[in-house]
């Protein structure tokens, strides 16, 4: 089954073509990585697929829904962590996640009986929050004001918010920014585990090593165009880096092509 399908998806901002004729298919259960240098159209793609922006041309289907005509159906079915999002500074992570849980209708009996990504069956929103806080190691700051959280702690709270309602499909724009190497490993394990359970992840990243290590399918974008697709499991990280460099212009550019420090 296909989770995401796009045909000639295009978005222009005045004179700038942020995305040009993207045609792509992502299977259910894939850990898909949209890999591209800065300004190549990754965030715009996520915005179009999640119904946050309308395309200038082309079409898309996300878990069977059109993000232009059925944005609310798409919103209900997915989780999302945009590139720059923080919990509100005057709320604690627990308060914020409780709010998200209420918005996601997790208080109802039917929802609270469902199995979450960890295979457990949390009964209440607070059980879910505790489970994610343990998994992503922010239990110690659950009741602290978010204004005092580190960048990495905020990122983990927002990750928990994206997964809280056990969606079948999650979009994450640059999943590992702001995380220390130990937390990166923890989050990678959560993401892989999520897909091994048959769910689908759509990541955007400009880090080749993230795509090489995590993804089952990579699409390389450059100047708003999909220039190549590959299975990173069939190549080493160095080979993917070489492939990427060859596809995005032949030279390694400090601003865009990157392996994490």
Ligand X SMILES: Nc1ncnc2c1ncn2[C@@H]1O[C@H](COP(=O)(O)OP(=O)(O)OP(=O)(O)O)[C@@H](O)[C@H]1O
Among 8, 13, 123, 124, binds ligand X (CB under 6 A): 13
Judged by beta carbon, residue 42 or residue 156, the one nearer ligand X is 42
Q: How far is CA 27 from the centre of its chain?
A: 15
Question: What is the nearest approach in angstroms of ligand X to the Cβ of residue 212?
Answer: 17
Q: Can residue 43 be called a binding residue for ligand X (CB under 6 A)?
A: yes
Q: Where are the alpha helices (DSSP H) in 136-218?
A: 151-163, 181-196, 208-214
> Cα(153)–Cα(120) distance, rounded to whole angstroms?
24
- Contact string 192-231 vs ligand X (x = CB under 6 A): --------------x-------------------------
What are the CA-CA distances from residue 205 to residues 33, 46, 179, 185 (Å)? 7, 12, 14, 16
Judged by beta carbon, residue 37 or residue 167, the one nearer ligand X is 37
Question: What is the nearest approach in angstroms of ligand X to the Cβ of residue 222?
Answer: 9
Residues 137-196 that bind ligand X (CB under 6 A): none
Question: What is the nearest approach in angstroms of ligand X to the Cβ of residue 177?
Answer: 10
Q: Can residue 36 be called a binding residue for ligand X (CB under 6 A)?
A: yes
The residues, any chain, with a CB within 8 Å of residue 215's CB and separated by 6 or more, are 31, 32, 33, 203, 232
Residues in contact with ligand X by CB under 6 A are 13, 16, 18, 36, 38-44, 83, 206
């Amino acid at each position: 089954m296909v989770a995401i399908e796009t045909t000639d998806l295009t978005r222009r901002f005045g004179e700038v073509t942020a995305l040009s004729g993207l045609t792509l298919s992502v299977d259910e259960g894939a850990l898909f990585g949209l890999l591209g240098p800065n300004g190549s159209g990754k965030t715009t793609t996520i915005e179009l697929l999640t119904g946050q922006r309308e395309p200038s041309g082309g079409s898309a289907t996300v878990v069977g829904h059109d993000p232009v005509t059925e944005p609310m159906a798409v919103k209900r079915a997915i989780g999302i962590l945009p590139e720059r999002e923080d919990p509100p500074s005057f709320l604690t992570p627990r308060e914020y996640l409780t709010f998200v849980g209420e918005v996601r209708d997790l208080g109802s009996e039917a929802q609270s009986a469902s199995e979450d990504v960890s295979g457990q069956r949390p009964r209440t929103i607070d059980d879910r929050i505790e489970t994610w806080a343990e998994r992503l190691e922010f239990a110690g700051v659950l009741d602290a004001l978010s204004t005092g959280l580190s960048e990495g702690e905020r990122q983990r709270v927002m990750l928990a918010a994206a997964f809280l309602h056990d969606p079948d499909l999650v979009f994450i724009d640059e999943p590992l920014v702001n995380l220390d190497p130990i937390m990166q490993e923890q989050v990678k394990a959560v993401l892989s585990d999520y897909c091994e359970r048959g769910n689908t992840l759509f990541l955007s990243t400009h880090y080749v090593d993230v795509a090489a290590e995590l993804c089952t399918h990579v699409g390389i974008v450059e100047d708003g165009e999909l220039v190549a697709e590959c299975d990173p499991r069939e190549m080493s990280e160095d080979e993917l880096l070489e492939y990427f460099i060859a596809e995005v212009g032949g030279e390694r550019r400090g601003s865009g092509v990157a392996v994490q420090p």
